[in-house]
Structure formats: structure tokens, C-alpha cells
Amino acid sequence: MPDAHVHDHFHHGREADQSALKTALALILAFMVAEVVAGVLASSLALLSDAAHMLTDAAALAISLAAARLATRPPKGAMTYGLGRVEILSAQANGVTLLVLGAVIVYEAIARLASPPDVRGGLVLIVALVGIAVNLAATAVLSRGSGERSLNVEGSYRHLLTDLYGFIATAVAAIVILATGFVRADAIASLLIAGLMLHAAYGLLKASGRVFLEAAPAGIDPEQIGRALAAETDVIEVHDLHVWEVTSGFPALSAHVVVRAGSDCHALRRHLQRVLADRFDLHHTTLQVDHEAAPQRPLQIEVAPRAQG
């Protein structure tokens, strides 16, 4: 597949991402205001923690939307790959906000376990059930985005998925409060929500860190690729093999290939690129192909016979 087709597919996917992000952002903003009001009226930390998380959801969606737009800009000037990696910065920012917010909620939940306030379980239950419906709709929109989610959209998706689980925990806590009067259930639910946030943060920071460190994309084994290339006819050696991810969904490869003297290096390069595309789904490849050094004839030195005296 030519590189132009790779870029067209990349840009089409980011346009689909933008549409999904806009819809999810509208849903989250509409519900967040209602949840803040309900959380204050019900004195529910679980609802307020969910509302705070939804605020970060809205910020994450807005950042992801801006990053998806920037990613579609063509390469220009010093930015020879374009601005696609802005999406990875967005994913890393989402991971950091989840980490910080999770730590804050853990602190507040521990304080409320020690001194629990009165919690209006009925109002908490109603808001939690509505929150489940809203987050189900938002996560469904993002999951339909561009098929395989970019790390940028994955960051927002994990924000929303954590919220969905959080609302389920909040609803359970509200039922417990209504049935038994055990108000500490609200703080316990908050701790569960914080745990989900910290788990999601770890995944995002790990994945974005791999891209920035230019590790091979998940599921791609550089050693296997090297062995496959070296096994092709007339290939003598493969070295300086590098596989990395420019941004989500844009893997790249470069390598130096030494081929047998006398072989058609141009035809062999095209064949190797087809192997990389067909077997490993690698389409953005740069191969430097050189012939092996021709064997040198041994140096012969003629020694003149010594003159007879």
C-alpha cells in the first residue's frame, strides 16, 4: 500500500474520531451540571467525586478533540511527521489527571469514613441511574468511532468507562444506604471509583510512555520481523532494524538489508516491503538495500630475481 493511502486512512480515522468526541462531549457536559447540584443537595461524596471525574471527562474529551484535529494537519516544515503525536500527549495528560484525581478522592473518602455525613440515598440513586444511562451512551459513541481506537480516544474512553463503573458503584451504595442506613457505603463506593481511576491512569501512562520511548508497537516482535526478512532468498543480513509507532495506528520500520552480489536489489526491496505489509501490516517502511562486498582477489607481489654477481 503506498504511503499516500496510509495517510488517507489515518486522516479518515481521525475525522471519525472527531465526530464521536463531539457527541460524547455534549452528553457529558449536559449531565455534569445536574450531577454537581444533586451531589451538593444530597451531601454525597460519591456523586461529587463522579461529578469531578466528569469534569475531567469533559476536559479530556475537549483536549482529545483538539488533538484529533491537529493530527490531521499534513507534514510541514520541521514537523516532517505532522502533529500526530499530539494525540499521545493528550493521552498522557488524561492519565495524569486520572492519577491526581484518584489520589484526591482516596484522601476525601478516608476522611468521610472517619466522620460520615448524612447522605440522601434516594437522590443519589436517581442521579446514579441517570448517570449510568448517559455514560453508556457516551462510551457506545466512542467505541463506534474509527474501529480501532487511537490512544488519544482511548484516554477519553477510559475516563468515561471509569465513570460508568463509578455510577454503578454509587447506585449500589445508595441502595445500601436506603435499605440499612449505612452511610459509610458512600465513602466505600468512592474508594472503589478511585481504584478504577488509578488503574486506568496506569494503563494510559504506560501506553503513552511506550510511544514516546519509541518502543515497538504492542503485538509486533522486531526479532520475528528480522528473521522473516533474513529468510528471504538472496538476503544475506538484516541489521539496524527499528520498529516504532509515530502515533496510534501509524507504525513505522527502517532497516539495513545486505543482499547477495549480483541480485536485483530494487526488485528485492519491493518484495521485502510486500512481505512487511502482508505478514506484519507494516506499510510505512524504509529499507536501505546494499549488495554484499565482492570478494577481493589476493594481492600478488612479484619479486624480481636477484642479479648474479
- Residue 98 forms part of a structural domain: yes
Task: Please tell me the total count of domains within the chain.
Answer: 2
Together in a domain, 113 and 14: yes
d(CA 257, CA 226): 10
Together in a domain, 228 and 204: no
- Residue 41 forms part of a structural domain: yes
Q: What is the pLDDT of residues 88-105, one digit of tens each?
A: 888 888 888 889 888 988
Together in a domain, 185 and 262: no
- Residue 112 forms part of a structural domain: yes
Q: What is the pLDDT of residues 74-90, one digit of tens each?
A: 888 888 778 878 888 88
- Residue 134 forms part of a structural domain: yes
- Residue 296 forms part of a structural domain: no
d(CA 32, CA 37): 9
Q: Please tell me the pTM assigned to this model.
A: 0.72
Q: State which residues form the domain around 52.
A: 3-212
Together in a domain, 238 and 198: no
Contact 64, 90 (CB under 8 A): yes
Q: What is the pLDDT of residues 117-168, one digit of tens each?
A: 777 788 778 888 888 898 888 888 887 654 566 777 777 788 788 878 888 8
Together in a domain, 206 and 226: no
pLDDT greater than 70 at residue 14: no
Task: Count how many Cα atoms sit within 13 Å of the Cα of residue 107 in the half-sphere of its side chain.
Answer: 6
pLDDT confidence of 256, banded at 50, 70, 90? Answer: very high
d(CA 48, CA 54): 10
**Mean pLDDT over all residues of the chain?**
82
Q: Supply the CATH number for residue 235's domain.
A: 3.30.70.1350
pLDDT greater than 50 at residue 2: no
Last residue of a domain, one of 182, 212, 242: 212
